[in-house]
């Protein structure tokens, strides 16, 4: 029995070692970043849709205000001409417009809250995305250090760092200024 248990433990350890060898932290971070990018794109699309709805609502409210002004003029006219039947219709229209106005304002408040929440979610996710990028850089540096120290690590991805002429020129100017100061 103890022999089977030891063999089982040995096989389990070997399987875990293989999985650890196969799972490259950089690949896992890159996949998490791709998923985060997709989520950010969805959230940004929802935010833009909310903003478009707000613009549409504002134009509806402006149009409603124009109609309300027209009805107020009609009501004044009906009072001066003593047209009771038309006055009743205009009052009815005024009440309908007031209800529409109230409904649109409620919708606008809801959309503004959604807009704020969506913007906050995007901001939080962008911060998480930046952390993932930093982790990817850190993992890449750690992996390079293992490789350079002679540790048995085979790197799947190679990094090519380049420096532009402008960066070289700026570093040269900064070095010259530092030497002149001392």
Cα–Cα distance, 182 to 97 (Å, whole number): 77
pLDDT tens, 132-174? 888 878 877 655 444 344 333 333 434 445 667 776 777 667 7
Give the domain ranges of the chain. 43-144
pTM higher than 0.75 = no
Q: What tokens does 182 get?
A: 């001392």
CB atoms closer than 10 angstroms to residue 166: 8
- For residue 177, the model assigns a pLDDT of 80
Cα–Cα distance, 114 to 57 (Å, whole number): 14
Element (DSSP H or E) covering residue 169: helix 165-181
The CB-based long-range contact list for 18-22 (8 Å cut-off, 24+ gap) reads none
CB atoms closer than 10 angstroms to residue 128: 15
Cα–Cα distance, 57 to 105 (Å, whole number): 8
CA distances from 11 to 5, 19, 22, 85, 135 (A): 10, 12, 16, 93, 32
- For residue 164, the model assigns a pLDDT of 73
């Amino acid at each position: 029995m103890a022999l089977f248990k030891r063999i089982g433990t040995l096989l389990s350890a070997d399987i875990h070692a293989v999985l650890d060898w196969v799972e490259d932290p950089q690949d896992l971070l890159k996949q998490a970043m791709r998923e985060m990018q997709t989520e950010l794109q969805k959230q940004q699309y929802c935010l833009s849709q909310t903003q478009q709805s707000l613009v549409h609502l504002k134009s509806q409210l402006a149009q409603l205000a124009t109609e309300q002004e027209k009805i107020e003029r009609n009501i004044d006219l009906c009072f001066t001409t003593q047209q009771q039947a038309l006055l009743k219709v205009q009052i009815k229209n005024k009440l309908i417009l007031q209800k529409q106005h109230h409904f649109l304002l409620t919708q606008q408040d809801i959309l503004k809250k959604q807009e704020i929440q969506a913007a906050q979610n995007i901001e939080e996710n962008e911060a998480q995305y930046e952390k993932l990028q930093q982790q990817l850089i850190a993992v890449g540096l750690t992996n390079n250090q293992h490789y350079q120290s002679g540790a048995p690590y085979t790197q799947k991805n190679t990094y090519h760092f380049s420096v532009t002429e402008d960066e070289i020129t700026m570093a040269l100017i900064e070095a010259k200024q530092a030497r002149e100061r001392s």
